[in-house]
Structure 1
């Protein structure tokens, strides 16, 4: 296993965990701002938690896009590698069947 394999092996798990971390940080910051009445506590009949969750999703998405670019690229590399391995294995199996 090369060092490239080691660095990308758990790329999807690492990216997902970091994405959840960015969301959690946004959720916490927005919750504090809503509690301090810096931000409104909801619109119409929307509950406070749902409002904070919606705002956290809206804020965390672009932050994740910018802050987690390296992790997202590593995850993409790993996915492409897995797809290529699967294609090669299927092609080898097809050739094996053709010989039989």
Structure 2
């Protein structure tokens, strides 16, 4: 579960940092601030968090492919 939490926390962190930077640069409209922050942080996470995304994907894939115990 740790890779999922690391990736999720990193995505949230990138969003918050992007939001703060845009706000400091003078973007004050809340709607556009959130929309533009979402887009920029999404692109940044695609580039910057590829290792964490691959680790999370492998962990989830292993968990899905694991056979389920039968309670007979």
Q: Would you call these one fold, judging by a TM-score over 0.5?
A: yes
Partner of 2:35 in structure 1?
54
- What is the DSSP-based 3-state SS (H/G/I as helix, E as strand, rest coil) of the residue aligned with 2:68? helix
Partner of 2:17 in structure 1?
25
CA RMSD across the alignment = 1.8
Partner of 1:89 in structure 2?
68
**Unmatched 5+ stretches in structure 2:** none
- Stretches of 4+ aligned residues off by more than 4 angstroms: none
**Unmatched 5+ stretches in structure 1:** 1-8, 36-40, 42-47
- The offset of 1:66, in angstroms, is 0.4
Q: Deviations over 1:2-41 (max 9, x none)?
A: xxxxxxx400010000000000110000001125xxxxx5
Q: Deviations over 1:37-78 (max 9, x none)?
A: xxxx5xxxxxx1111111101111110000000000000011
Using the size of structure 2 for normalisation, the TM-score is 0.88
Query: How many positions carry a matched residue from both structures?
Result: 72
User: Relative contact order (C-alpha < 8 Å, sep 6+): which is higher?
Assistant: 2
